[in-house]
Amino acid sequence: MDAPPFANEVNGDERGTVMSIEVQHLTKRFNGFTAVHDVSFRVETGELVALLGPSGCGKSTLLRIISGLEIPDGGEIHLTGKETTQVSPRDRNVGFVFQHYALFKHMTVYENIAFGLKVRKLPKQEIECRVSELLGLVQLKGLEKRYPFQLSGGQRQRVAVARALAPSPRVLLLDEPFGALDTKVREELREWIQQLHEHSQVTTLFVTHDQHEALEIANKILVMNSGRIEQNGTPLEIFDRPATPFVAEFVGENNFIEAEVTEPHLVPWGPFRFPVNGYPLGEKIRIYFRPHDVYVSSLPEYPHVDVKAKIMKTRFRGPMTELNLHIGGNKQVIAHVPKGVSLTSGFIEGSEVYIGITAFHAFSKS
Ligand code: ATP
């Protein structure tokens, strides 16, 4: 497939310029309830950043503030290095795509994409050229005469993205753009949005509550909880080095235990002894370890895979098998092993195995 043209190429004077988003100490209250609480972060030129968090944590409010649709109670917004906190949405030059298709129902695909350009009174020929370019970019060439009801959900969202990109925005804000679509289409569009971003290089901030979407697409993830940013990092950092218990619980699957530092630098839990640093004796600790970081073997492998466990239940999870393991003392551990390993090693319900924990994260309970 030919590389799609650059989305921001038409507006040549924007090329090479800074297209960053910076918010400083943003706060927003609704009737005394703080939906966004002292939030600061920066999205660099050309980055694709995910704003990830559970329902109601303030993601959409934050995006709406950046776009100018919502006025913050405190803080500042800088787009492309200029303070825009008081600038009207129209003059911010921001592209916005919502979860629910906000296409004009009575307009064709062409007319929808051309809308923002007609409002700006661009010459007809220029509009035709830009719409044609965008139809190529969002891979909808040939569908320009269709109306929204004649398109699939995924195609409609692609038109919405093309419409948002038409006026060559400085930044693109996507609010759960694939939220209303089924899993398969969402997965296809994830790949598509990545390609689109690679070609257009428009600085993009997209909201999602889907960790897989964020981990797969984004260069950087902002994890949000109760109006605050809990962690700002690359997908690998967020997954491998969660900064808070919330991030550890929200991103990826986990075994979770609470125990106490009863020996210097050690948290014993059943037959396991977790080394921890910097906590005093008696400190209550939360420990998280991922099911795929539990190593399972049919024989003891010294020194680390030596805790005896019984497989109480197996669950088929596609490419991997989930094992529910009892280690005595009413303690349970969930392990994920590749399906092939599980089959060849004879990991069946009732069998005895040996386990070791290869990685974990510890946080103080207080
Ligand atoms: P979701 O993923 O469900 O869309 P979200 O993370 O985008 O959630 P927001 O829509 O930003 O969350 O809402 C954050 C909080 O602010 C919620 O408790 C919501 O009820 C509240 N809220 C949002 N808009 C308003 C409003 N206009 N008036 C009053 N409360 C609001």
Cα gap 189→183, rounded to integer Å: 10
Q: Is the shortest distance between the CB of 321 and ligand 1 below 6 Å?
A: no
Q: How much distance in Å is there from the Cα of 128 to the middle of ligand 1?
A: 39
Rounded to an integer, the average pLDDT of 236-263 is 94
Cis peptide before 303 (omega within 30 of 0): yes
Q: Is the shortest distance between the CB of 58 and ligand 1 below 6 Å?
A: yes
Q: What is the mean pLDDT of the chain?
A: 89
Q: Is the shortest distance between the CB of 60 and ligand 1 below 6 Å?
A: yes
Where does the pLDDT of residue 139 fall: very low under 50, low under 70, confident under 90, or very high at 90 and above?
confident
The answer to whether the pTM exceeds 0.85 is yes
Residue to probe by mutation, ligand 1, list 27, 52, 59, 210, most atoms within 8 Å of CB: 59
DSSP 3: P
pLDDT score, position 98: 80
pLDDT tens for each residue of 43-97: 999 999 999 999 999 999 999 999 999 999 999 999 988 899 989 888 888 998 8
pLDDT score, position 18: 67
Q: Is the shortest distance between the CB of 35 and ligand 1 below 6 Å?
A: yes
Q: Using the predicted structure, report yes or no on whether residue 183 has a pLDDT greater than 90.
A: no
Q: How much distance in Å is there from the Cα of 7 to the middle of ligand 1?
A: 31
Q: Is the shortest distance between the CB of 209 and ligand 1 below 6 Å?
A: yes
Q: How much distance in Å is there from the Cα of 56 to the middle of ligand 1?
A: 5
Q: Is the shortest distance between the CB of 55 and ligand 1 below 6 Å?
A: yes
Residue with tokens 């690998």: 236
> Hey, which bits of the chain come out as E strands?
21-30, 33-43, 48-52, 74-79, 82-83, 94-97, 171-175, 203-208, 220-225, 228-233, 255-260, 266-269, 272-275, 284-289, 294-297, 307-317, 320-326, 332-338, 352-357, 361-364
In this structure, the residue with its CA closest to atom 14 of ligand 1 is 58
Four-residue CA torsion sign, 196, 202, 207, 213: positive
Q: Which atom of ligand 1 is nearest to the CA of 70?
A: 27
Residue with tokens 């310029």: 17
In this structure, the residue with its CA closest to atom 25 of ligand 1 is 30
- Cβ partners under 8 Å of residue 186, min gap 6: 178, 210, 213
pLDDT score, position 101: 62
Percent of the chain with pLDDT over 90: 67
Rounded to an integer, the average pLDDT of 317-337 is 94
> Do the beta carbons of residue 293 and residue 357 sit within 8 Å?
yes
Buried b (16+ CB within 10 A) or exposed e, 39-65: bebebebbbbbbbbbeeebbbbbbbbb
pLDDT tens for each residue of 345-365: 889 999 999 999 999 999 998
Rounded to an integer, the average pLDDT of 6-25 is 61
Residue to probe by mutation, ligand 1, list 30, 73, 211, 222, most atoms within 8 Å of CB: 30
In this structure, the residue with its CA closest to atom 3 of ligand 1 is 55
Q: Is the shortest distance between the CB of 56 and ligand 1 below 6 Å?
A: yes
Q: How much distance in Å is there from the Cα of 179 to the middle of ligand 1?
A: 16
Q: Is the shortest distance between the CB of 57 and ligand 1 below 6 Å?
A: yes
Q: How much distance in Å is there from the Cα of 178 to the middle of ligand 1?
A: 18
pLDDT score, position 120: 86
Residue to probe by mutation, ligand 1, list 37, 59, 61, most atoms within 8 Å of CB: 61
Element (H, E) at 195: helix 183-200
